[in-house]
């Protein structure tokens, strides 16, 4: 099966490699030529444009940073609207605003091009080992076609509703992750300030009700002072912007989300935007004059 893959960044590259390992024939494109060359070396066919991807495939995956990039790839000059064949299925795995997903889908549908939103959760580590979680919005018949492909990149692939539902679900996911990191940072700053070894606190509580996947993934990084990005704060801040904008349009208050967003904005202003989102801990470290590090 021929698959187009557009967007070979921190997430897209390992996801594309997993599809190559599964035996798919990939036609790949990215605005950064070095990214294309890396995936070409792994066995993909390099393309020089979105047009070239569209001309060679009828199943296309996109994984780009945000709503404007999805609109550019899908609807912009030289994009999928112009060159994809009628009947082509486009599955956008980016994390974008739900209303943008619906807009893109509606415009592509006028040309007979099918569209689904399927954002992921899990960050770079799960992209590498192929255990991402996919939250998919779209038609059931399109999901039946897409699911086997997505399962080569994810451990969980769930159709959550109509087009746009995937990104609404992703926004809910990102709110929970952000608030979880903030809660962990607040709690561990208290324990550290009180003179308790934060590593011992982690060992004591991770198996109880307070334990979580977020805690297990992020506390070891905080305790080691390792903020190398698995998921950049800039990207999480973008997701919370989309969540807050969506909530505003629906009249839904997101009180805690707004507070954590402001923490991220402060940290980004201090140069932490390219750090892992676990660097939220640095906000509390500065506030409490502590360092949450294992002894």
What CA–CA distances, in Å, run from 115 to 58, 110, 118, 248?
12, 11, 10, 26
Evaluated on CA atoms 279, 284, 289, 295, the torsion sign reads negative
The rounded Cα 236 to chain-centroid distance in angstroms is 8
Give the C-alpha separation, 267 to 275, whole Å: 10
**Annotated catalytic, 21?**
no
* Cα diameter, the chain: 65
Spatial distance between the Cα atoms of 246 and 272, rounded to a whole number of angstroms: 25
- Specify the residue for token string 């979105």: 50
Query: Helices in the chain by DSSP H: which ranges?
Result: 12-21, 33-41, 50-56, 67-75, 80-83, 98-109, 123-129, 140-150, 165-193, 198-205, 213-224, 233-250, 255-269, 280-288
Torsion of CA 249, 255, 259, 260, to 10 degrees: -80
CA-closest candidate to residue 14, choices 100, 135, 175, 124: 124
Measure the CA–CA gap between 166 and 169, rounded to whole angstroms.
Answer: 5
Return all residues near 235 (Cβ < 8 A) that are at least 6 apart. Answer: 65, 95, 277
Structure tokens, 274: 């390219």
From the list 126, 170, 238, 282, the catalytic residue is: 170
Active site residues: 170
């Amino acid at each position: 099966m021929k698959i187009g893959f557009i967007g070979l960044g921190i997430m897209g590259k390992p996801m594309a490699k997993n599809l190559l390992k599964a035996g798919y024939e990939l036609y790949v494109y990215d605005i950064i030529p070095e990214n294309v060359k890396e995936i070409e070396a792994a066995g993909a066919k390099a393309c020089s444009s979105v047009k070239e991807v569209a001309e060679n495939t009828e199943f296309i995956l996109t994984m780009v940073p945000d709503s404007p990039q999805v609109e550019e790839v899908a609807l912009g000059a030289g994009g999928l609207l112009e060159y994809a064949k009628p009947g082509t299925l486009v599955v956008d795995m980016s994390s974008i605003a739900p209303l943008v997903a619906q807009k893109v889908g509606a415009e592509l549908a006028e040309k007979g091009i099918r569209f689904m939103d399927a954002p992921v959760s899990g960050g770079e580590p799960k992209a590498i080992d192929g255990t991402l979680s996919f939250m998919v919005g779209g038609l059931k018949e399109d999901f039946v076609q897409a699911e086997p492909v997505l399962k080569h990149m994810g451990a969980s692939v769930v159709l959550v509703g109509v087009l746009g539902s995937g990104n609404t679900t992703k926004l809910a996911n990102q709110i929970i992750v952000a608030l979880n990191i903030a809660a962990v940072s607040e709690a561990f700053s208290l324990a550290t300030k009180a003179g308790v070894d934060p590593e011992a606190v982690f060992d004591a509580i991770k198996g109880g009700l307070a334990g979580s996947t977020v805690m297990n993934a992020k506390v070891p990084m905080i305790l080691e002072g390792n903020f190398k990005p698995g998921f950049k704060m800039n990207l999480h801040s973008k997701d919370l912007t989309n969540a807050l904008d969506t909530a505003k349009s629906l009249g839904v208050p997101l009180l805690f989300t707004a507070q954590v967003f402001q923490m991220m904005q402060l940290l980004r202003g201090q140069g932490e935007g390219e750090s892992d989102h676990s660097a939220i801990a640095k906000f509390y470290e500065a506030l409490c004059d502590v360092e949450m590090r294992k002894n």
